[in-house]
Structure 1
Amino acid sequence: MTIMEIPAEARAAVRARRRKEIDELDYRRELRRLGERGYTQTQIAGWLGIAQPSVTSALKTAAKVSLPAEGFSGATPYEICQRYAAGFVDRAQLVDELSRWQYVPRGTTSGPLDDLIVDPPGSWAEVEQAAYAGLIGDDIYEEVFERRHPRAAAV
């Protein structure tokens, strides 16, 4: 369900929720950067107005967060779509970044009886998931697909 399919009364709440998710991700990345730059947990706690043990916990969580790829607004195609849905990137930037992304190959099975496929981060499956989740519309999905596969789209 895209934002336009959500009742007008609920759109502000949906966008705020999406912005909150991205803000939390950005917060963790900034904490990670501060830790990597050698600032002490006491310094960070003082700046943020939180207890030092909270910084310890937050830094452990932040260490697991991937940084955005060079030249991209997000660390994965799904995150780029999240940023678009939250209003942090415009349509042109979204299409450009998704079109330029170096997608990893999709998951494969390990044998004829194994039907469980887990797609790795950074695969085209993330764009499909973003479309399914309503972060991007079918028009954007199709435009990016056509840019990446001009012959397939023409057939």
Structure 2
Amino acid sequence: MTTISYRPEVQRARTLRQRLDLDRLDYLRELRRLAAIMSQTELASQLGVKQPTIHSALRTAAKVVEPVPGFSGASPYEIAQRYATGELTRAQLVDELGRWVYPSEAPTDGYDSLLVSASGSFDEVGRALSDGLIDGAIYDAILDRAADSSQ
């Protein structure tokens, strides 16, 4: 697996881009939580937006998966994003992704060897490596920890 070398002066923008994705997830999850205890009209008033804005955001929020209990995210990639933005230490990242229960790969039909990655699969850890969220040493540590956990 190849990782891309990024220019150091771009690192802040890369971190902020990941932070933007995570902030959106956290915002939508929080809206969904608040909508369970107050009306959309009251929520809109409290946030200084119009009610249709809240309604639209809640439709989007309905599709957002909650973090898995005991983990910092809903997927291995989200957990890696949280590490890349400084929310998690290296030890926390390796612990969580080492304990993650990865789905087994779906068998092919015998005619088409194309496999589609299942949500939550180890492919997301590979994607995090490719996207520069983690480095090779962390990838190897996660792989070792996951292998130890499965035995």
Partner Cα separation in structure 2 for residue 86 and residue 108 of structure 1? 35
Partner Cα separation in structure 2 for residue 116 and residue 138 of structure 1? 26
State the Cα RMSD in Å. 1.4
Give the drift of 1:25: 0.8
The corresponding residue for 1:27 is 27
The corresponding residue for 1:87 is 86
Gapped regions of structure 2 (runs ≥ 5): none
Give the drift of 1:116: 2.1
The corresponding residue for 2:145 is 147
Give the drift of 1:26: 0.4
Deviations 1:25-76 (A, max 9, x none): 10011011112x2311011101111110000000000000000011110001
In the TM superposition, 1:43-62 aligns within 5 A as 43-62=42-61
The corresponding residue for 1:102 is 101
Give the drift of 1:114: 1.3
Partner of 1:92, secondary structure, is: helix
Find runs of 4+ consecutive structure 1 residues off by over 4 angstroms. none
Partner Cα separation in structure 2 for residue 26 and residue 7 of structure 1? 29
Given that residues 129 and 135 in structure 2 are in contact (C-alpha distance below 8 angstroms), is that contact kept between their aligned partners in structure 1?
yes
Gapped regions of structure 1 (runs ≥ 5): 151-155
Given that residues 106 and 124 in structure 1 are in contact (C-alpha distance below 8 angstroms), is that contact kept between their aligned partners in structure 2?
no
Give the count of matched residue pairs: 146
Give the drift of 1:8: 2.2
| % identical equivalent positions | 48
Deviations 1:94-139 (A, max 9, x none): 0110011111112321x22112211211111111111111111110
Given that residues 99 and 145 in structure 2 are in contact (C-alpha distance below 8 angstroms), is that contact kept between their aligned partners in structure 1?
no
